[in-house]
Structure 1
Amino acid sequence: MEVSIIYKALYEYESQARCSHNLLRLRPCSDARQQLIEFGLEIDPPSEVFTYSDYWGTSVEAFGVHQDHTRLSVVARATVRTDGQPAMVDSPPADALRDGRFREGHWEFLQPSPLVSWNDAIETLSQSVTESVDEDVIARVLALHRWVGRNLSFDETSTRVGTSVEEVLEQGKGVCQDFAHVLVALCRASGIPARYVSGYFLPANEHGESSEADFPLKTHAWVEAGIPRSGWWGLDPTHRMEVSARHVVIGRGRDYADVTPFRGSYSAGGRATQAIEVEMAAAASQQ
């Protein structure tokens, strides 16, 4: 599938901002499942952009605005060719999760991270969700994935960037970032490596055509679970589905803090308001 993406961000300040420094993680990656065809940035006020890859392998566009300004506009345009992920044909036993080499290779995705931690209650919840399923890794991951999709509801007004996994579970609602953080925490609490994925998602209606009736189009988040002998398996708890050709990856990390799409700071300027919008479309023959 060939997908076009337009990301638009507008920041407006109460008064003149003297300078701002910004990091963008908006460029889709190229990997075994997708290929970036083209990517471009439009920044106003015009700024020089420096591109590099971070620790996790995500492309970062860094720029500074050093002139006085009352608004900052960023438009990122991308075209990506995507495929669905391969089916999981091997279902290793749960004992495979305790293999020393496997754990060492996935160590960072088994530990608590800045925005994903868990307590005894969450560990108990994870155990209760998986105790009745077969003793294999795929069954356990699917049970946790389905539990999150059934027990959380989507609500844009209920959480903020720093809302903890415990808070999300207590109120039972959040946004895609929260769904992903909860699933990551439940997996790690069960000894299953899990990483947070930031990207874009092109929804579809019952006819397979583009639709945003259920969820507004913005950047999206989902999860990849580490499966012994098979690699990473992508699951989207917000949409209750496996990752498909409609999922476009920007980057992967331990949690949202590692792959924040737009992060910046500025001097003076007073309070700032922001507006984020994403437009996506598949080639007409592929909708």
Structure 2
Amino acid sequence: MAVFKIVHSTKYQYNWPIKESINEIRLFPYNFENQDVLKFELNITNNPNVDISQDRYGNRVGNFNNLEVHSEMAIESRMIVRVNHSLKIPEIDTTTIQDLEVEKEKSIELLRLSYPEAIEKQNKIIAILNKIKHQDKPVIEIARLCNQYVYSNFSYTKGITNIETTLDEVLQHKKGVCQDFALVLLQLLRTAGIPSRYVSGYVCPNKSGLRGEGATHAWVEIYTPTQGWLGIDPTNNIWTMDNHIKLSVGRNFTDCTPVKGTFKGLAKQKLSVSVSVEYEDGRQFEEVNEVQLQEISLEKQKELDYIEHVHQQQQ
């Protein structure tokens, strides 16, 4: 059992004042059998009202508007979470893909989570499954082999992918970070016929060292009728353990994006995200990332350059 204090800070900065910022957040940690949320606090610039609802996957979703003119917006979530599942290696399970077909007939959601994405390099996915000889193996074993393959054959490299990077691009370069690893594993498992979902959360540092620790993290959960949803982490080639804190689940990253939104105004924006993790004994870890945002259009860039030029002339 472990207790963590986590502070997740998201800061948007704009070079010109903007208004009517409309946002959606998934920053509320899960309460489930092996994870208890002991305390949660949310702080947002200008203290807007946050309307909280639940999406189709059971995630708590917050929606808010920041209508006042502003040049900066900060969103900070503070939580104390207790986790109690150690290294949850699944029990011996003989469930097969054929057994899952019966389960999928009972649940449209399980069926939906079994469909792979339509990608150009699907032949590479099929080749990997053939290489590990997944046919006739139990579901747990297929998941383990796929997880191990991604870990061993894809290079953990920061800075070469972003939220717009496609699965085809990851398969081409065989490099990326936890989000990319999770998407590849999902495609493998779903192609094999296993209901699987994307998980967004944190992986807290431990003595053995984990890739992606101390920051937002992503992994995968598979479904078996005997054990429910089981977490598996391709970035570290392990089943989830006490260090994994779950925020949200969904079909892909889009369903689990911690913060997303839009605004009125013509301005360049800068996004930075920091995550601080504190243990019961006082140890603390912090990571700050400058997030690479989607490139703006050439037309918009010209408008921004013109405004900047006029401003300089006036000075």
Query: Which residue number corresponds to residue 253 of structure 1?
Result: 250
Query: Which residue number corresponds to residue 265 of structure 1?
Result: 262
Deviates more, 1:46-55 or 1:119-128: 119-128
Give the drift of 1:117: 4.9
Give the drift of 1:122: 3.4
Q: How does 1:74-223 map to 2 (within 5 A)?
A: 74-84=75-85, 86-105=88-107, 106-112=110-116, 117=119, 119-131=121-133, 135-206=137-208, 214-215=211-212, 217-223=214-220
Give the drift of 1:129: 3.5
Contact 1:184 1:223 in 2 (8 A): yes
In 2: Cα distance, 1:146 partner to 1:83 partner: 25
Give the drift of 1:240: 1.7
Task: Give every structure 1 segment of 4 or more consecutive aligned residues whose post-TM-superposition deviation is greater than 4 Å.
Answer: 116-119
Give the drift of 1:285: 8.7
Query: Which residue number corresponds to residue 283 of structure 1?
Result: 280
Contact 2:148 2:234 in 1 (8 A): yes
Alignment of 1:236 with 2:240, yes or no, is no
Give the drift of 1:219: 1.3
Query: Which residue number corresponds to residue 30 of structure 2?
Result: 29
Taking only aligned residues, the RMSD between alpha carbons, in angstroms, comes to: 2.3
Deviates more, 1:259-268 or 1:127-136: 127-136
Contact 2:232 2:238 in 1 (8 A): yes
Query: Which residue number corresponds to residue 19 of structure 2?
Result: 18
Alignment of 1:274 with 2:275, yes or no, is no
In 2: Cα distance, 1:29 partner to 1:231 partner: 16
Normalised to the residue count of structure 1, the TM-score between the two structures is 0.90
Q: Which structure: larger Rg? A: 2
Q: Tell me the amino acid that sits aligned with residue 94 of structure 1.
A: T
Give the drift of 1:42: 1.2
In 2: Cα distance, 1:125 partner to 1:249 partner: 32
Give the drift of 1:94: 2.6
In 2: Cα distance, 1:140 partner to 1:46 partner: 47
Contact 1:201 1:220 in 2 (8 A): yes
In 2: Cα distance, 1:162 partner to 1:252 partner: 19
Query: Which residue number corresponds to residue 43 of structure 1?
Result: 44
Distance change >3 Å, CA 70–CA 269, structure 1 → 2 = farther
Give the drift of 1:248: 0.6
In 1: Cα distance, 2:106 partner to 2:151 partner: 30
Give the drift of 1:181: 0.5
SS in 1 for 2:62: strand
CA deviations over 1:85-134 (Å, ceiling 9, x no partner): 65422322535445323454311210135xx7575413422422431787
Q: Tell me the amino acid that sits aligned with residue 91 of structure 1.
A: D
In 1: Cα distance, 2:119 partner to 2:106 partner: 19
Contact 2:30 2:248 in 1 (8 A): yes
Normalised to the residue count of structure 2, the TM-score between the two structures is 0.82
SS in 2 for 1:128: helix
Contact 1:153 1:174 in 2 (8 A): yes
Contact 1:11 1:275 in 2 (8 A): yes
Contact 1:20 1:264 in 2 (8 A): yes
Give the share of equivalent positions with the same residue, in percent. Answer: 28
SS in 2 for 1:284: coil
Corresponding pairs, count: 280
In 2: Cα distance, 1:16 partner to 1:109 partner: 42
In 1: Cα distance, 2:134 partner to 2:48 partner: 56
Contact 1:45 1:69 in 2 (8 A): no
Any stretches of 5+ residues in structure 1 without a counterpart? none
Contact 2:100 2:225 in 1 (8 A): no
Distance change >3 Å, CA 162–CA 104, structure 1 → 2 = farther
Query: Which residue number corresponds to residue 303 of structure 2?
Result: none
In 2: Cα distance, 1:90 partner to 1:257 partner: 33
Give the drift of 1:18: 1.6
Contact 1:126 1:187 in 2 (8 A): no
In 2: Cα distance, 1:32 partner to 1:251 partner: 15
